[in-house]
Structures are given as C-alpha cells and as structure tokens.
C-alpha cells in the first residue's frame, strides 16, 4: 500500500530541478489513456506541514458533502449581492439526493463535474473554508508559494509536492480517493494566472463526505496515483525568488493587485540577492 508521498531531500534549488527532470522522464508518468496529463505541483512553506485543506484547518474534516453544499448555497445570495457576480448551481435537494448514491456522484467527480465547481473555486480563492486543495501545473509557481514567506527559524525546509494521476484508476465505496477536478472552470483570474487546478479527497460511507489526504494515501495501491514530496532548505529562498523575479514570476504577476505590487517592490528592494 502507498502510505505516504515518497520524500526526496535535496540540498539546493539546482538539485530539485535535476530531480524534477528525472521524475518527469519516467515512463507513463502523468498520463491518462494516450494523452499526456500534466503533473501537478503544490508548494508549502514548511516541510512538516501535511497536505490539508482550509476546511480541515478550520476543524471541519470529514464533513458530509451535502452539509457543506447547504452552507455555501445559503451564503450565496449575500456573496452575489456584495460582489455583483452570479453563479448557477444545482439546488440543495438535488445535490443532497446525489450524495446518497455512490456511482452517479463518483462519475461526476471522475470527470470534473463537481456541483457548483466554479462557485467553490471562487470561494477557495477568497478565503472561505474549502475542501478544494489548490495545485499548479507549474513547478515554479508552486515553488514561489513555498519560498514566498520567510522561514520561522533557521534550518527549516520548504516542500514541493508532485501529483501524478495514474493511467487507469480503481476505486470503490468505503475507500478514500483523491479526485482531480481539472483546469476548465470559469472563476477568478488568479486561477489562470497561477495555472491552477484543484483536487478533492472524498469517501463514500452511507453518503459522500470529505476525507483527509492521509486517509487517501493509505487507501491507494501502488498502481494508482503517485505522490512525491521534495524538501528544500529555506536558505535557498533569496536565490530562488531573485531568479523568479528575473522571469517576472512574483506576487504581482500571480495576483495583479495593488497589494501584490507593494509586495513585489518590497521584495526587490529589501530581500533580493546582492551581487
């Protein structure tokens, strides 16, 4: 059984790049049928942090999907009134019924037809507790988010997770599974600037509920999805961010806001790598 992501410790940014090239060259990596499917990457500021959603971090792990859907449907009129945006989502009774059946809802998740997906992605980008875990198709965008904040203490490491979806996938009820929901969703522009995709870990046991990623790791067999975790010293931070800024990968290019402009200018003036 695949209990955890395969951890790879590297000493420098260059070693990470070399490891990533080796990983990308493996046969059948990130392929579905005969079409290439990009690897997904997620950067985290501390290597000891597990993969967890903002819903989990708010103490709401294992929440039934229909309960979460009822909440986001209830607050939708307030969000639409404040933002001037509108989202078309299925009715709560319809979703509640779907969540009591394994096969139909499983197919929706498999083919990225999550009810209210665009609305849920928008909520995720604006801080509402979410079962969606955000990834990027770019390893460099993921690395930016890993290195962006100064480390809490010297000697810390950041981590970059790599997710490869298997060519063929199995699954059944009573088994936690990680669903890749795909990039094709109309939502906030950050989604496109950051080359975002999302995953959701879920299980069916008398109804669909969210599950912890660790629960899904233990459920996956070796011929299903693969995860790797690169740990990189946070001391590489200044070098990496200086390099990224030369290629216009910074807070401003990823967020396009006044706040991100200030963050980018401050990084250039106060934290850049000196000659």
Residue 173 lies in a domain: no
204 occurs within a structural domain = yes
In a domain, 54, yes or no: no
- Can you give the pTM of this predicted structure? 0.87
Q: What pLDDT score was predicted for residue 32?
A: 38
Does 247 reside within a domain? Answer: yes
In a domain, 1, yes or no: no
56 lies in some domain? no
Q: Could you tell me the residue range of the domain that residue 197 belongs to?
A: 6-49+61-168+178-271
Looking at residue 165, its pLDDT comes to 78
- Under 8 Å CB-to-CB from 97, ≥6 apart: which residues? none
**Gap between the Cα atoms of 111 and 126, Å rounded:** 25
Q: How many other CB atoms are there within 10 angstroms of residue 107's CB atom?
A: 10
Question: Nearest 10 degrees: CA dihedral of 170, 171, 172, 177?
Answer: 170
Would residue 89 count as lying in a domain?
A: yes
CB 32 within 8 A of CB 167: yes
- pLDDT for the residue 227: 87
For each of the chain's 275 residues, which pLDDT tens digit applies? 344 688 999 999 999 999 998 887 765 544 434 445 689 999 999 999 999 999 999 988 889 999 999 999 999 999 999 999 999 999 999 999 999 999 889 888 877 789 999 999 999 989 999 999 999 999 999 999 999 998 888 779 999 999 887 655 555 667 888 888 888 888 888 889 999 999 999 999 889 999 988 887 765 554 467 889 999 999 999 999 999 999 999 999 999 999 999 999 998 888 765 55
Please say whether the beta carbons of 109 and 206 come within 8 A. Answer: no
Q: How many domains does the chain have?
A: 1
The answer as to whether 217 is a domain residue is yes
């Amino acid at each position: 059984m695949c209990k955890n992501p395969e951890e790879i410790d590297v000493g420098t940014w260059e070693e990470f790049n070399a490891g990533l090239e080796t990983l990308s060259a493996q046969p059948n990596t990130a392929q579905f049928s005969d079409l290439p499917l990009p690897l997904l990457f997620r950067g985290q500021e501390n290597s000891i942090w597990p993969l967890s959603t903002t819903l989990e971090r708010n103490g709401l792990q294992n929440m039934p999907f229909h309960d979460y859907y009822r909440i986001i449907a209830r607050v939708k009129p307030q969000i639409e009134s404040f933002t001037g945006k509108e989202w078309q989502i299925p009715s709560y009774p319809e979703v509640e019924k779907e969540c009591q059946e394994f096969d139909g809802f499983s197919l929706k998740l498999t083919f990225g037809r999550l009810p209210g997906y665009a609305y849920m992605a928008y909520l995720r980008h604006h801080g509402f507790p979410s079962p969606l875990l955000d990834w990027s198709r770019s390893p460099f965008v993921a690395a930016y988010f890993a290195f962006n904040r100064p480390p809490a203490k010297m000697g810390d490491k950041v981590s970059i997770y790599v997710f490869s979806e298997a060519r063929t996938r199995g699954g059944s009820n009573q088994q936690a599974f990680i669903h890749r929901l795909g990039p094709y969703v109309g939502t906030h522009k950050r989604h496109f600037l950051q080359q975002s995709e999302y995953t959701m870990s879920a299980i069916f046991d008398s109804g669909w509920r969210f599950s912890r990623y660790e629960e899904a790791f233990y459920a996956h067999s070796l011929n299903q999805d693969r995860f790797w975790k690169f740990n990189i010293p946070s001391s590489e931070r200044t070098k990496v961010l200086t390099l990224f800024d030369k290629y216009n990968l910074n807070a401003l290019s990823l967020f396009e806001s006044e706040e991100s402009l200030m963050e980018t200018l401050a990084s250039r003036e106060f934290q850049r790598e000196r000659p």
